[in-house]
Amino acid sequence: MDQPFPETLHESIDFPDGLALDCGRRLRSLTIAYRVYGLLNAARSNAILVCHALTGDQYVAETNPETGKPGWWDRVVGPGQPVDTDKFAVICANVLGGCMGTTGPRSPHDDRPDEPWGTDFPPVTINDMVRAQKRLIDHLGISRLFAVVGGSMGGMQTLAWAAMYPDHVFAAVPVAACAYHSAQNIAFHEIGRQAIAADPAFHNGRYWAKGVTPERGLAVARMTAHITYVSEAALTRKFGRKLQDAATLSELGDRFEVESYLQYQGSSFVRRFDANSYLTMTRAMDLFDLAAPHETGLAGAFAGSKTRFLLVSFSSDWLFPTAQSRAIAWALNAVAANVSFVEVKSDKGHDAFLLDEPDFHRTLAGFIAGCAEHAGL
């Protein structure tokens, strides 16, 4: 990024009345960038909201205009896919605090519109993200979402949707999700934040004013996160201990394939992602705790819910492990909610929700078909 504001124009809607945030502050202007795949029916009853993860965006099922890569969930969303765009209108919005067109640290400052928010951007929560999405859904004239679906941070949003707007969500599918961010999760995020803050190009978050980006810090943050997204088995299968250049033991440079892969992951990421957004969004995840406001704990978040839930976890996910999804299932059972819970056997780690996992895709397709029948779709 050589300039304060991004170049790509994303399809978006402005909400000039802004948005009140959990922190007590108010965004005076709010823009939500989003994409829709498939057609809304006359009753507007066939909408599925997809919520994206930390490094995702609204380009679920089409070429991403910034990276040129395929949509991040085109295995799951599309014509004939488990989330079938021939039958459903699939909506995905860039999250509040993001950097792909929705209001975030890279958007014009409310008070100084010639410069971006940067680190002045208020801290947002997962609930704030959901409130922003609700504005979009209202704007589109959708009174009830047929389903909300998301993995990882998207799964947090899915749970928050079901907790905050139970009458507006017929079905909810939190995938590889959790009801709160654990101490270990927070610790890994903190590594990334420290690495970004330690980069001299960060300039206390005003890097945009200098025409630079804290690339090295952001790359270290991405590398750290990436390790937590994959299983030990997946890393080993991909790289094992293969030496890049087995001949040389004579210098301290990069030696193992896994290292150059991680460096590549880091460097490709920094070309497309805003560091202040990364700080804002990791903080939102760390603050997430569905049970906290409720005297009865997690069950209290879902009391009286009529939403149908499908919880999916992956056996080798050590970041948001199965035990987290099971705890959500127990809480839903405690309030007699309608819940299915599937642990998919996979050795791909947390990232499995993005990858080729036929069991997950079959389970999701079956659940959606069943719910569609109940919903009269």
Question: Could you list the residues that contact a second copy (CB under 8 A)?
Answer: 22-25, 119, 122-123, 125, 180-184, 186-188, 190-191, 194-195, 197-200, 216-217, 219-220, 223-224, 227, 232, 235-236, 238-241, 249-252, 255-256, 258-259, 262-263, 266, 279-280, 283, 286-287, 289, 318
Pick 267 or 340: Cβ nearer a second copy: 267
Pick 36 or 235: Cβ nearer a second copy: 235
Beta bridge partners of 50: 92, 149
Give the Cβ contact number of residue 196 at 10 Å: 25
Identify the helix (H) or strand (E) that includes residue 338: strand 338-344
The encoded tokens of residue 72 equal 């991040």
What strands lie across the sheet with 338-344, from one edge to the other?
12-15, 30-37, 89-93, 47-51, 145-151, 169-175, 308-314, 338-344
Q: How far is the CB of 292 from a second copy (least distance, A)?
A: 8
Q: What is the Cβ-side half-sphere exposure of residue 213, based on CA atoms within 13 angstroms? A: 22
Closest CA to 214 of 257, 253, 267, 153: 267
Q: How far is the CB of 351 from a second copy (least distance, A)?
A: 14
Closest CA to 173 of 325, 281, 336: 325
Identify the helix (H) or strand (E) that includes residue 326: helix 322-334
Q: How far is the CB of 29 from a second copy (least distance, A)?
A: 20
Pick 235 or 335: Cβ nearer a second copy: 235
Question: What is d(CA 209, CA 2) in angstroms, rounded to the nearest whole number?
Answer: 9
Q: How far is the CB of 24 from a second copy (least distance, A)?
A: 7
Pick 24 or 141: Cβ nearer a second copy: 24
57, 274, 317, 351: which one is catalytic? Answer: 317
Q: How far is the CB of 291 from a second copy (least distance, A)?
A: 10
Q: How far is the CB of 199 from a second copy (least distance, A)?
A: 6
Pick 43 or 198: Cβ nearer a second copy: 198
> Is 350 one of the catalytic residues?
yes
The encoded tokens of residue 236 equal 């080993």
Backbone angles phi, psi at 14, to 5 degrees: -95, 140
Strand 83-84 vs strand 30-37: parallel, antiparallel, or unpaired? unpaired
Backbone angles phi, psi at 146, to 5 degrees: -60, -40
Per-residue b or e along 304-342, where b marks 16 or more CB atoms closer than 10 Å to that residue's CB: ebebbbbbbbbebbebbbbebbebbbebbeebebebbbb
Pick 164 or 186: Cβ nearer a second copy: 186
45, 152, 325, 346: which one is catalytic? Answer: 152
Strand 308-314 vs strand 169-175: parallel, antiparallel, or unpaired? parallel
Q: How far is the CB of 216 from a second copy (least distance, A)?
A: 4
Backbone angles phi, psi at 190, to 5 degrees: -65, -35
Pick 65 or 240: Cβ nearer a second copy: 240
Active site residues: 152, 317, 350
